[in-house]
């Protein structure tokens, strides 16, 4: 096995910690990536790389994690990808509080898919904070990281996700940052259905986050497929956007990149829409897992 790839430098790691960020990527290579979440390392693997070899190399970044978890990446929805403890105290809590640009988030290493925070979206959350939107609609909100970022600068937020447990974790993130629940809604519903309801109400938002899964199911037996349904989502978002609003278009659907998102959006959004691409965070070495672009109306 070769551990060739990109590894974070002690200098960059120190800079991120100094800015109040303890959740970031420390390495990526063929068939693997490693992320730091507070005092814990999470190794994500495809078949091939050896977890123990990678764990031993972490010390070269200038950091010795208290725990190391390994997550074997899956190819199909429903397959188990819950992290397994490789080293560290087996009796310690699977929960850990991490920081991003000074804000706090709770991660859970007993959860599948993700521990609860996607570090590759860090600069998009920072961009959202800098805009200071009055109202934010966060669709497929998961644990509400974008909502927390917006609420921290005074935005009113609506977080929508079919998973009640994910939204409960989102509420916990609000509590960690001592953000009062007034002016914030957590809606456990099918996103497309709820968007149509918002349109009927005539609601408008200054920023909308569209980061849907590649594939998903609702409680009513409906399915969501990115390549089939994203255009409809974007059409709904346009109807819900306030003048001068911003829509984050994001996907980890592999066949689509930023130009694909822009091409799709050009056929739906007004002709004067500007598209703003934010580079991947420096700890992602020029390549982020998701394709993202802001549509500025």
| Structural domain for 61, as ranges | 5-92
| Same structural domain, 163 and 272 | yes
Beta carbons of 43 and 68 less than 8 angstroms apart? yes
Q: Are residues 275 and 206 in the same domain?
A: yes
Gap between the Cα atoms of 182 and 202, Å rounded: 21
Sign of CA dihedral 100, 105, 106, 107: negative
Domain membership of residue 224 (yes or no) is yes
Instruction: Calculate ∠ Cα 269-238-212, nearest 5°.
Output: 100
Q: For residue 291, is it within any domain?
A: yes
pLDDT at residue 1 in the model: 35
The reply to whether 58 and 203 lie within a common domain is: no
Domain assignment of residue 99, yes or no: no
* Pair 45, 83 in one domain: yes
Domain of 71, CATH number, reads 3.30.750
Closest CA to 278 of 290, 266, 292, 263: 292
Q: Are residues 259 and 155 in the same domain?
A: yes
Please state whether beta strands 5-7 and 291-296 pair in parallel, antiparallel, or not at all (unpaired).
unpaired
State the Rg of the chain over Cα: 19
Does residue 114 lie within any of the structural domains? no
Give the pLDDT of residue 74. 72
Question: Rounded CA gap, 113 and 121, in Å?
Answer: 16
Question: For residues 1 and 24, what is the distance between their CA atoms, to the nearest angstrom?
Answer: 24
How far is residue 166's CA from residue 117's CA, in Å, rounded to a whole number? 11
Question: CA triplet 107, 70, 63: central angle to 5 degrees?
Answer: 75
According to DSSP, the β-strands at 184-187 and 223-225 are unpaired
Distances (CA, A) of 175 to 144, 155, 209, 221: 12, 16, 21, 33
- Predicted local distance difference test score (pLDDT) of residue 4: 73
- Do both 186 and 273 map to the same domain? yes
Q: Tell me what pLDDT residue 2 has.
A: 46
Q: Residues 34, 28: contact at Cβ < 8 Å?
A: yes
Instruction: Transcribe 113-150 into DSSP letters.
Output: S-SS--GGGHHHHHHHHHH--SEEEEET-TT-HHHHHH
- For residue 109, count other CB atoms closer than 10 A to its CB: 21
Is 238 domain-assigned?
A: yes
* Average pLDDT of adjacent 10-residue blocks, the chain of 297 residues: 78 97 96 96 89 92 96 72 94 97 98 93 98 98 98 98 96 97 94 96 98 75 81 97 98 93 96 96 93 97
Domain count, the chain: 2
Tell me how long the chain is: 297
Q: Is residue 154 part of a domain?
A: yes
User: Do 85 and 138 belong to one domain?
Assistant: no
Contact 241, 269 (CB under 8 A): no
């Amino acid at each position: 096995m070769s551990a060739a790839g990109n590894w974070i430098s002690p200098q960059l790691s120190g800079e991120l910690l100094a800015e109040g960020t303890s959740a970031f990527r420390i390495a990526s290579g063929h068939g693997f990536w490693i992320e730091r979440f507070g005092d814990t390392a999470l190794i994500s693997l495809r078949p091939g790389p050896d977890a123990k070899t990678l764990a031993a190399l972490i010390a070269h970044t200038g950091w010795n994690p208290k725990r190391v978890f390994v997550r074997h990446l899956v190819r199909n929805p429903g397959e188990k990808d819950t992290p397994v403890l490789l080293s560290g105290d087996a009796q310690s809590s699977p929960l850990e509080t991490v920081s991003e640009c000074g804000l706090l988030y709770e991660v859970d290493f007993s959860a599948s898919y993700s521990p609860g925070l996607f570090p590759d979206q860090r600069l998009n959350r920072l961009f959202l904070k800098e805009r200071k939107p009055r109202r934010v609609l966060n669709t497929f909100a998961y644990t509400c990281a974008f909502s927390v970022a917006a609420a921290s600068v005074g935005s009113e937020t609506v977080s929508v996700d079919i998973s009640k447990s994910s939204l409960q974790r989102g509420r916990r993130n609000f509590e960690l940052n001592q953000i009062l629940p007034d002016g914030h809604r957590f809606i456990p519903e099918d996103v497309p259905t709820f968007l149509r309801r918002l349109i009927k109400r005539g609601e408008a938002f200054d920023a909308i986050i569209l980061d849907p899964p590649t594939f998903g199911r609702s409680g009513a037996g409906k399915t969501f497929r990115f390549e089939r349904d994203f255009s409809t989502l974007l059409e709904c978002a346009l109807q819900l956007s306030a003048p001068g609003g911003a829509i984050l278009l994001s996907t980890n659907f592999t066949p689509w990149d930023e130009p694909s998102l822009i091409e799709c959006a050009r056929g739906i959004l007004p002709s004067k829409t500007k598209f703003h691409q934010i580079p991947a965070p420096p700890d992602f070495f020029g390549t982020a897992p998701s394709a993202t672009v802001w549509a500025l109306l």
